Amino acid sequence: MLINGNEIKTVAIVGTGVIGAGWAARLLHRGIDVIATNPRESAEEEIREVVANAEAAVERIISVPADKKGKLFFTPDLKEAVEKADYIQESVREVEEIKISLLKEISLFAKPNAIIGSSTSGLLPSRLQSEMMNPERFVVAHPFNPVYLLPLVEVVGGEKTSAEAIETASQFYEMIGMKPLKVRVEIDGFIADRLLEALWREILHMVNDNIATTDELDQAIIYGAGIRWAFMGTNLTYWLAGGKKGMRHFMSQFGPALKLPWTKLEAPELTEELIEKMVNGTNEQSKGLELRELEKVRDQCIVSIMEALAQYDYASGKILNRDRAMQKGRLS
C-alpha cells in the first residue's frame, strides 16, 4: 500500500542541479522537508543558493511564514537521504544507464511504500524501472524549469507502474501547486518536449542558414504566439482563428500550406559554426546579466503573467488560485 499523497512530509532529492534544486525550492516553500543528496563537493552550497534566489518569486506565489516552511537537509550519502523519505525525486544526468543503475540502488534503500519519481525529460519509464525493486511505485515526473514556479509536470507510467502510483503521485503534485498532465501512452520525449523539440529544430535551421539571429527568433515568439501560449494552446488558438466555423474552416483555409516547404523537422548538423552562432547570439541577448540576476527577472515575469491570469481564474492562473487556497487551509 503506497503512502497517501497528502501524507508526504519528507522528500529526498537525488541530484541537485537546476531541476533538483528547483524541486527543493517548490517543496520547501509548501512545508515539505527536503533531504538532498549529491556527491559533488560544491552541491550543498549550490542548492542553498538556488533556494535562496527563488525566495522572492515563490513568496509572491504564496506568502509563507518562516516557521511553516520545510527544512533543507543535505547529505552526500544516498542511503541516508532516501531511507526515511516518503517520496523520492531523481534528477541526475539524462543518461539511461546512469539512471537505471541509480534507480535500482534507490529502490533497495527506500521504504517499500515510498513513491519514486524521475525528472527525465524523455527516457521511457519501462526502461528506467527495469531493474528496480517494487517497480510498480515508479513514475516519470517531468517538470519544467523553473520547477518552483511552472506548474506543469508530465506524469508517465511504465509497464510495471501501478494505477495507484499514478493517482497518488498526481495527488501529491496537486498538493504542491502543480498541474499533473497524465501521459496515457508511453512515448519517447513524452508530449511537451516533443512539441518543444520541433520548434527548437526550426530555430537551429534558421540560425544555421543565416535567416535569423537568436534574438530575432525569440522576438517572433515573445511578441506573438508566446503571449497566447501563456493561457491558450495552439489548438484552441487555431479553433478561434477559424471564426464561427471553427477548426474545420481553419483546416480548409490553411491546410494546403502543410504541403509547402515551411519547416524542416530533421535537425541540422551541429557544426562548430552553428554552435558558435547560438552561443554568441544568446550571450548578446543576456545583456551582461549574471545567471542569478537573469533568473530573478525571468521568475518575476512568470509570476506576473500567472497573477494576471488568476484574475480570470484561467489556465495557470487557475492552478495558482487553487494552490493559494490549498496552502492557506494547510497553514491556518
What pLDDT is stored for residue 242 in this prediction? 87
- Cell (9 digits) for 209: 542558414
Task: Identify any residues that bridge with 141 across adjacent strands, giving them in sequence order.
Answer: 155
- Do 54 and 151 fall within a single domain? yes
Contact of 119 with 142, CB cutoff 8 Å? yes
Domain match, 166 and 237 both: no
Grid cell for residue 107:
529502490
Question: Is 207 within a domain?
Answer: yes
Tens digits of residue pLDDT in 28-59: 999 999 999 999 999 999 999 999 999 999 99
Task: Band the pLDDT of 262: cuts 50, 70, 90.
Answer: confident
Q: How far apart are CA 27 and CA 10, in angstroms?
A: 9
Residue 91 has pLDDT above 80, yes or no: yes
Do 307 and 48 contact (CB within 8 A), yes or no?
no
Torsion of CA 207, 198, 93, 81, to 10 degrees: 130
Q: Is residue 115 part of a domain?
A: yes
Residue 19 has pLDDT above 80, yes or no: yes
Assess whether 196 and 312 both reside in one domain: yes
219 with 288, same domain? yes
Give the Å distances, CA to CA, from 21 to 24, 96, 295, 323: 5, 21, 13, 20
- Asked if the structure places residue 10 within a domain, the reply is yes
- Does 187 fall in a domain? no
Cα separation of 207 and 46, whole Å? 33
Domain boundary at 182, 205, 233, which?
182
Say which CATH number the domain at 125 has.
3.40.50.720
Residue 291: what pLDDT?
86
- In our burial notation (b when 16+ CB lie closer than 10 A, e otherwise), range 202-225 reads bbbbbbbeeebbbeebbeeeeeee
Alpha helices of 119-189 — where are they, by DSSP H?
125-128, 163-175
pLDDT at 245: 86
Are 163 and 201 contained in the same domain? no
Q: Which of 17-31, 183-197, 250-264 comes out lowest in average pLDDT?
A: 250-264
Where residue 291 sits, what CATH number does that domain have? Answer: 1.10.1040.10
Per the omega criterion (within 30 degrees of 0), is the bond before 146 cis?
yes
| Secondary structure string (H, E, C) spanning 108-120 | HHCCCCCEEEECC
User: Are 291 and 198 found together in one domain?
Assistant: yes
What does the block give as the cell for 9?
512530509
User: What average pLDDT is seen over the chain?
Assistant: 94
Domain boundary among 154, 182, 210: 182
Amino acid at 318: K
The arithmetic mean of pLDDT across residues 2-29, rounded, is: 95
For 139, the 3-state DSSP assignment is: strand
Based on the domain organization, do 10 and 145 belong to the same domain? yes
- Please tell me whether residues 175 and 202 are part of one structural domain: no
Counted domains in the chain: 2
**Which residues neighbour 195 within 8 Å (Cβ) at sequence distance 6 or greater?**
none
On whether both 31 and 173 belong to a single domain, the answer is yes
- What pLDDT shows up at residue 119? 98
Say whether both 145 and 281 belong to one domain. no
Which range of residues forms the domain containing residue 44?
A: 5-182
Specify whether 10 is located in the same domain as 129: yes
User: Of 182, 204, 227, which residue sits at a domain end?
Assistant: 182
